[in-house]
A = this chain, B = another copy of it.
Amino acid sequence: MTNPSGPTVADIGEFPVIERAVRARRQPDSTLVGPGHDAAVVTASDGRIAISTDMLVEGRHFRFDWSSPEEVGRKAVAQNGADVAAVGARPTAFVVGLGCPPETPVAVLDGISAGIGEAAEEIGAGVVGGDLVQAGQVIVSVTVLGELDGRPPLLRSTARPGDVVALAGRTGRSAAGLALLLSGNRDFPELVAAHRVPTPPYAAGPAAAAAGAHACTDISDGLVADLEHICTASEVAIDLDSGALAPDTQLRETGRVLAADPWEWILTGGEDHALGACFPREVALPDGWRPIGVVLEGSGVTVDGQRRDGSGGWESFAAGAGH
């Protein structure tokens, strides 16, 4: 862990740290009751609210020798915000559970809190509550709320044969960045940055819902793995067009330098937080979306009609996978 000088959490206590985290943070109009009470109250204008939760663990989802505390906080917001965007919602509020050892410098928690607060503010959302507890490692547990603004929620279970599969954002960049960090190579800072702080195409989710998309998912476990979830839930197959997914110069060059196959990153790399959706063929794709395949009768994901070998993604507990 980085070890900024200054007091630790044990030195100053729980309440002052929480106070520092919420002090002077602006709240959007959607925050009706902010921090400082037993619960916050936020708007849910159309009588519904979208909710998703994720937990990030030091040493597994982030490392302080690779990411600053601010970047860890920003990544937590991106990861959660993409989940509500994937159902067509607009992130409006975050609550944060932080666990850490008592010897954790307050500056680390201040950094995580600042990253969360700034990233939330940039997308128009508030940080409305939190909890700080003692734990054996740094844990960042984030829950996000999102407004659907009258749109139908996008599910994973409603893709139909004949739909166009489309992608918003890019895949493989976070995995390439992780490979660069693991190798010690620092020649491709944009890819390393994509791993440290993903930038989900937040507006693409609501735009897909407004356009009448049939199904949508966040690409967090890998393109093939996440589209497999749509296939399973919708009882369909998906065939991807390799021509629409081909690695750009940066990914090809990184693959050459690291003696790695950039297609692995593109098809199986996690944590890009792009969005994948299935649109009726007659719908004009909204801004930010490009076609990458088609929905067919059957099951599972193919690329150019070929079934991939291997797991097509990584699970949190699978031996040796991910980080």
Chain A residues in the interface with B (C-beta under 8 A): 9-10, 13-15, 32-33, 36-57, 60-61, 82-84, 86-87, 89, 93, 95-99, 102, 128-137, 139, 141, 143-146, 148, 153-157, 216-218, 233, 315-319
Q: Are A141's CB and B41's CB within 8 A?
A: no
**Complex CA distance for A301 and B44, rounded to whole angstroms:** 37
30 A-B pairs with C-beta separation under 8 A: A13-B315, A13-B318, A15-B315, A37-B87, A37-B156, A37-B233, A38-B82, A38-B217, A39-B51, A39-B52, A39-B87, A41-B49, A41-B50, A43-B48, A44-B47, A44-B48, A49-B145, A52-B129, A53-B96, A53-B130, A55-B99, A56-B133, A57-B133, A60-B134, A99-B139, A102-B317, A134-B316, A136-B136, A139-B139, A139-B141
- Copies of this subunit: 2
**Complex CA distance for A22 and B86, rounded to whole angstroms:** 20
A39's partner among B129, B137, B146 (CB-CB below 8 A) is: B146
Residue of B nearest to A91 (CB): B39
Q: Across the interface, which residues of B come within 8 angstroms of A33, CB to CB?
A: 50, 87, 153, 155
